Each structure stands twice: as structure tokens, then as C-alpha cells.
A = this chain, B = another copy of it.
Amino acid sequence: MSDTFQEPLCSTCAARLQSVLDSLESDQLGGFETSKKCGSYKKGESIFEENDPPEGVFCMHSGKVKVFKTGDEGKPQIIRFAKPGTILGYRSMLSGEPYTVSATALDESIVCHIPKDTFVAALEKDTQFARRFMEMMSSDLDQAETQIVHLAQKPVRERLAEALLVLKKIYGTENGDTSPLDVTLTREELAGVVGTAVETLVRTLSDLKRERLIATDKKKIRILDTEGLIRVGNLQD
């Protein structure tokens, strides 16, 4: 974590308005502002890791982060992607148990750390905030359960199509609709999202390229035919 950047303020933080912290009462907000510590993370830098002791939660101010869990054989499985406004590491804060997932920057990112006491106090004092927070947890859980079903029942090809669409939805594209996804992952990372071997991932990507659904340029991926991918992914919803 490096230190040369402008420390953001919660009160004027655009990312906050995208997050579960949007409705925070101003008295709580002050507590956040004075107790938080923000850090800048370069691409590849770790924000927290499995088994680390939790001391609060992280709130993303800018950048992109992958949240993953390491399997028995050491292979990382990407559980979810975070963007500005996302709260990370809340589970361990609540349970007091060490982190069960790791978070690593995918890009230059600024991530703030809010001490447990501050956060818990806000949860206790601001009912509306607590409510929003629970809704966020619900939504994370719902997403995880959908992921379970897809991993159990869909073939790699469908999961890959879905993963690409998810990346588009979360991080968007650089310019127009068919311009490159505004995030770059290694093939290994993408394999870790889809839950497959790197070689299989590469082959399946090639298939999609051959079908003109996507195009690749270096590490950049462009989605040429969103509808087509939805069809491939069997995603009616």
C-alpha cells in the first residue's frame, strides 16, 4: 500500500452515494470520516487475505478489486468483483473470525478502512443503515446461491458467457457498447471466475471469438454480440 494520494472525504465521496452508506446520517458520517484510514493499492496488491484478523471493513473509493477464496489445491476461485462503493470484509467483522476470502486490486485502487467500532456503532444507531446493510448481505447471498446452481449445472461455455456479461455489467466498457471491457484479467483469473482450467478457458474463448461473439486484442476483451452471449449463456432473466 503506497501513500501518495489525496485522502478522500466520506462526506463528499461520490462512491459513497453508490453504496450502502448512501443514507448514512451525518452524525455517523463524521465518525467514519475521522476514524477511517484510506490506502492506495497498485494492481496486484493485496488488501486483505484469508486468515488475516479483521479489524473493520473496507470501503472502495476508486478502482477495481477481485474477491477470491483459495481452494484446497491452492487454486483461487473468484467469488465476486468490487467497484467503488462496495463494502468488503464485513463478514469477518461481524463474526470476529479471520477473513475467509482475500481481496486484491485489479487496478490502481483507493480503499478505505473503517474500524469495527465505528461501523458497528453506526449499525446500532442508524436503523435505516442497518436495514440497507442487511439488504446488501441478502443480495450477496442471493448472488452466491445463483453461482452455486450455475457451477453445478451449467457447462463451461455457458458460465464463460455469463462471466463476460457480468464483467460488462460491473465495470462497463471503455467507450461504446462494443468497445473493450473496462477491466483486464489474466486468463488464469478468468478461469478462476468461471471455475475451469486455464486451457479450457482459452479454448472456449477461442470458440466465442470464432463465432464473432467477442474479439480480443492483447488482454482486452470486446463483446461484439451481447444478445448472442445471452443466448449462449442461457440467460433469460
For the complex, is A206 an interface residue (Cβ under 8 Å from B)? no
Of A7-15, A38-46, A145-153, A212-220, the stretch lying at the interface with chain B is A145-153
Residue of B nearest to A233 (CB): B72
Q: Is the CB of B139 within 8 A of A141?
A: no
Identical subunits present: 2
Q: Is the CB of B133 within 8 A of A134?
A: yes
For the complex, is A3 an interface residue (Cβ under 8 Å from B)? no
Contact A195/B79 with A138-B95, A144-B145, A145-B100 known, Cβ cut-off 8 Å: no
Complex interface bits, A117-151 against B, C-beta within 8 A gives 1, otherwise 0: 00000011001001101110111111011111111
Q: Is the CB of A153 within 8 A of B234?
A: no
**Contact pick for A135, options B95, B151, B152, B153, CB 8 Å:** B95
What is the interface size of chain A, counting residues whose CB is below 8 A from a CB of the partner? 43
Q: Smallest CB–CB gap between A52 and chain B, Å?
A: 15
Residue of B nearest to A71 (CB): B153
**Contact pick for A153, options B73, B90, B154, CB 8 Å:** B73
Query: 8 Å CB contacts to B: which residues of A55-88?
Result: 69-73, 75, 77, 79
Collect the chain B residues with CB atoms within 8 Å of residue A236's CB: 72
Residue of B nearest to A133 (CB): B134
Collect the chain B residues with CB atoms within 8 Å of residue A71's CB: 149-150, 152-154
Collect the chain B residues with CB atoms within 8 Å of residue A234's CB: 72
For the complex, is A94 an interface residue (Cβ under 8 Å from B)? yes
Residues in chain A within 8 A of chain B (CB atoms): 69-73, 75, 77, 79, 90-91, 94-95, 100-101, 123-124, 127, 130-131, 133-135, 137-142, 144-154, 195-196, 234, 236
A-B interface, 8 closest residue pairs, ranked by CB to CB distance from nearest: A152-B195, A144-B144, A71-B153, A151-B151, A91-B138, A77-B149, A137-B137, A94-B138
13 extra interface residue pairs, beta carbon distance < 8 Å, beyond A75-B153, A95-B142, A152-B196: A71-B149, A71-B154, A72-B153, A79-B145, A94-B138, A95-B139, A101-B145, A123-B134, A137-B141, A144-B145, A147-B148, A148-B151, A152-B195
